[in-house]
Structure 1
Amino acid sequence: MSRRLLLPCSMLLAILFLVWPVGAQSVLQLTLPNRPDSVKFMAMGDNGTGDDGQYQVAQRMVEAHRVFPFEFAIMLGDNMYGSQKPADFVTKFEKPYGPLLDAGVKFYAALGNHDEQTNRFYKPWNMNGERYYTYTKKNVRFFVLDSDYMDPKQLDWLTGELKKATDEWKIAYFHHPLYSSAGRHGSETDLRLVLEPLFVQYGVNVVFSGHDHVYERVKPQKGIYYFVSGSAGQLRKGDLRKSALTDTGFDQDMSFMLVEIEKDTMSIQTISRAGRTVDSATLARQKRN
């Protein structure tokens, strides 16, 4: 075949690559129950790069929402990298997640070490100017923390809120993981010494974090389920050092989580940038006295 014939073919392939999203040929196979009255949400961390990868993962989120209409999304910190001027909130948040925002999905953010403290005043993140806060969705109470500065005032607030919470499910989320098998950062043991006793004492059921740019489902620790989901915009490929902590994990591509809670059951599905399900599980709420 002549070079003159090869050139148009290569140009055509390049055009197709530009207009056809990564993995667009795959169709999400939902593993969640998708019951009408359940609590449905998405979890993502370390997303705010403004790069192609973030946009590709965001497209998967939009596709997932079509078949699994989650009401809200939890953001696990490092929601913005680099410049954080008003224009950056457009390119790193409003554009990639625009279809979800238009569909009425609400985002509830925790701050990470790359986020500026003033980001808590950004209205679409529903932080209402607070570094830490709580909210309820049906039978689930969420506790959002600022793990970058765990000061006594925040701990006193958390203790008081946990004490008075009577919800069936208590979920905490923040940026730095108490348990992680990733090589770059790993478990934040100092933070664990402070938070884990409170979580155990007051019946926290689930903890979500980011920071490590991998996905990991940790084996239950003292009756609590821990997840690391820090690869919605960043990936540290090959960083997961599977250990005795690891139930399952994935570090070969970016990913995000879908979560469904009904009565005493939580179902999760973790989806890669290519649209592949890399983890799926149904977990029972641990009974507490």
Structure 2
Amino acid sequence: MVEAHFEPYVQLVDVTDDAALIAWGGFRLGEHAGRWRAERGGETFGARSEPRGRAAVEVLDGEGAIVGRTVTDEANHAWVQGLRPATTYRYRVLVDGEPWGAGERFDWVSGSLGAAWRPPDQRLRTHAGGSDPDPVTFLAIGDFGVGIASGADGARQIAVARTMQRLADAVDIRFVVGLGDSIYHGPGGPQDASGAFDEDWWLTFFQPYRYLFDHLPFYPTAGNHDSSDTEASDDREQLEDNLYLRIRFAPRQEVGRASIDPGLFYQLRVGALLELVCVDTTWGAERGLHWFDEPGHRGWLERALAGSDAAWRVPFSHHPAYSAGPAHACMPEQMERLVPLYRRHGVRLLLHGHEHNFQHGRADDLQYVVSGAAAKLDERTPDRFAEAGTLSWAAEPHCLLVQVKPDRMVVTPYGPTAPGAQPAPIARRRPDGTVTDEPITVVPASGRSVRSRRGLTE
């Protein structure tokens, strides 16, 4: 090792309508044979990391007044309570009286460290209250956790992350939804146990999305590469640590808004318009059964969908119920045991990852989008269009921009963005090979605004 450097990071982990969860930490970086990498050695980020000193997390209003403050010397994360719904704030972290991350900062650039290209954006916006029909726009990505130093996959991850950053700079994005496979195995293959150590997460998660997750919460689901479904190592423990799953969702479980440990099911309510429902589609404790088959999780999911009065309820999971391939077929377990439940409770849209391309399809009145190419990519043509009800598809790396309004949802897949360029939607093909740019629009089954009887605008 020639040099050593500690690079600090901040993360807006979560927000509710009256609180925010903020975390801080960093990575020990070393130069080896002319390339920088994160050094192994202890917990440097996440819920288990050793406290770095006495910390104060302060939330400030538009005039700079402190409206919320939490002090801790037991952790490198803290909830700040007592905030107002649908309100934008600034935040800061002081450790032993000094601003965390102040001074010169560095980003990874093609194996080297260069001066950080922008300062951190330490702001947050709380979610709207449950009766407020506040329009919501969010980003979604799937199958992204390859690491930006990983050849062609890494180059795609960088380019899609750049798209997300440009969109977040131009549009009022509220948060990012992860559609699974947040962390893959490393160059040693499935036995490499990647994801089990913090240094695996530096180039995979914290650096590529550094200037998104400092002000946008990330809401994950579990994929087959995040568990032991595909790999010899189960990365759930590290997923739990670096994404603060227990800290975030255990309190929601106590009030019936999550079902975890093990498995990952939770509701994300954003005002009166949107309720996202995370569904864990990985294998359960018993091989042959999925977590959604486990009676406790199944009962929770039925209650969550039946009890919601949000205008739009959107389940999201890693594995798609419907897929035209080429690598994965439709999933009969979901079609038999989940899709009827979704239909019964008025679900109109499903979001998935897993297949490394883009797909949009329809099964009767239920539309779905498969988005598993935020880094991984399968350029082969799908071969099950009729079976999956495919309307359009593309073999392009991308992220999703999802706009939620009272009378419709619009989903737009944006492709990779080169340095200095602006994001553009990807070209999609119908099964007959013709190109379409028709907007992907989801409307209520009746043609009227969803739940207008509950006071939303028709």
TM range (shorter): 0.7 to 0.9
C-alpha contact 1:38 1:262 (8 A) present in aligned 2: yes
Shift in CA distance, 37/165, structure 1 to aligned 2, threshold 3 Å: closer
- Counterpart position of 2:411: 268
- Counterpart position of 2:86: none
Note the C-alpha offset of 1:177: 0.3
Among 127, 135, 144, the alignment partner of 2:268 is 135
C-alpha contact 2:349 2:442 (8 A) present in aligned 1: no
Write the mapping of 1:152-191 to structure 2, written as runs, cut at 5 A.
152-191=295-334
Letter in 2 for 1:137: V
User: How far apart are the structure 1 equivalents of 2:244 and 2:295?
Assistant: 28
User: How far apart are the structure 2 equivalents of 1:186 and 1:120?
Assistant: 29
Structure with the larger strand share: 2
Give the 3-state SS of the residue equivalent to 1:48 in structure 2: coil
C-alpha contact 2:349 2:368 (8 A) present in aligned 1: yes
- Counterpart position of 1:246: 390
RMSD of aligned Cα (Å): 2.2
User: How far apart are the structure 2 equivalents of 1:147 and 1:203?
Assistant: 20
User: How far apart are the structure 2 equivalents of 1:127 and 1:133?
Assistant: 10
- Counterpart position of 1:21: none
C-alpha contact 2:373 2:398 (8 A) present in aligned 1: yes
- Counterpart position of 1:199: 342
Write the mapping of 1:24-173 to structure 2, written as runs, cut at 5 A.
37-50=134-147, 51-82=154-185, 83-84=194-195, 85-102=197-214, 104-115=215-226, 116-118=235-237, 119-123=239-243, 128=249, 130=260, 131-138=264-271, 139-148=273-282, 149=290, 150=292, 151-173=294-316
C-alpha contact 1:42 1:70 (8 A) present in aligned 2: yes
User: How far apart are the structure 2 equivalents of 1:218 and 1:204?
Assistant: 15
Note the C-alpha offset of 1:45: 0.4
Structure 1 stretches (4+) deviating beyond 6 angstroms?
none
User: How far apart are the structure 2 equivalents of 1:225 and 1:124?
Assistant: 31
Residues 37-82 of structure 1, C-alpha deviations (whole Å, 9 max, x = no match)? 5200011100000022211210111011122221101100111101
User: How far apart are the structure 1 equivalents of 2:276 and 2:318?
Assistant: 14
Letter in 1 for 2:220: A
Note the C-alpha offset of 1:165: 0.8
Shift in CA distance, 121/204, structure 1 to aligned 2, threshold 3 Å: farther
Letter in 1 for 2:279: L
Higher relative contact order at CA 8 Å, sep ≥6: structure 1 or structure 2?
1
What is the aligned length? Answer: 253
Note the C-alpha offset of 1:243: 1.6
C-alpha contact 1:214 1:239 (8 A) present in aligned 2: no
Note the C-alpha offset of 1:242: 6.2
User: How far apart are the structure 2 equivalents of 1:212 and 1:127?
Assistant: 28
TM-score of the superposed pair, with normalisation by structure 2:
0.52
> Are residue 286 (structure 1) and residue 445 (structure 2) matched?
yes
Shift in CA distance, 37/161, structure 1 to aligned 2, threshold 3 Å: closer
User: How far apart are the structure 1 equivalents of 2:244 and 2:159?
Assistant: 21
Give the 3-state SS of the residue equivalent to 1:163 in structure 2: helix
C-alpha contact 2:402 2:410 (8 A) present in aligned 1: yes
> Are residue 212 (structure 1) and residue 309 (structure 2) matched?
no
Among 358, 365, 373, the alignment partner of 1:223 is 365
Identity between Structure 1 and Structure 2 (%): 26
Note the C-alpha offset of 1:122: 2.7
C-alpha contact 1:121 1:127 (8 A) present in aligned 2: no
Letter in 1 for 2:398: S
Residues 204-237 of structure 1, C-alpha deviations (whole Å, 9 max, x = no match)? 1211001100101112x23222110000010011
Letter in 2 for 1:65: A
> Are residue 277 (structure 1) and residue 434 (structure 2) matched?
no
Note the C-alpha offset of 1:127: 5.5
Q: Which runs of 5+ in 2 are unaligned?
A: 1-109, 111-132, 148-153, 186-193, 227-234, 251-259, 283-289, 418-422, 427-436, 452-458
Q: Which runs of 5+ in 1 are unaligned?
A: 1-17, 19-35
Letter in 2 for 1:246: T
Give the 3-state SS of the residue equivalent to 1:177 in structure 2: coil
Note the C-alpha offset of 1:137: 0.9
Letter in 1 for 2:275: R
C-alpha contact 1:106 1:124 (8 A) present in aligned 2: no
C-alpha contact 1:242 1:249 (8 A) present in aligned 2: no
Give the 3-state SS of the residue equivalent to 1:236 in structure 2: coil
Residues 169-227 of structure 1, C-alpha deviations (whole Å, 9 max, x = no match)? 000000100011111112111222110111011111211001100101112x2322211
- Counterpart position of 1:8: none
Note the C-alpha offset of 1:254: 0.7
Note the C-alpha offset of 1:283: 2.7
C-alpha contact 1:120 1:127 (8 A) present in aligned 2: no
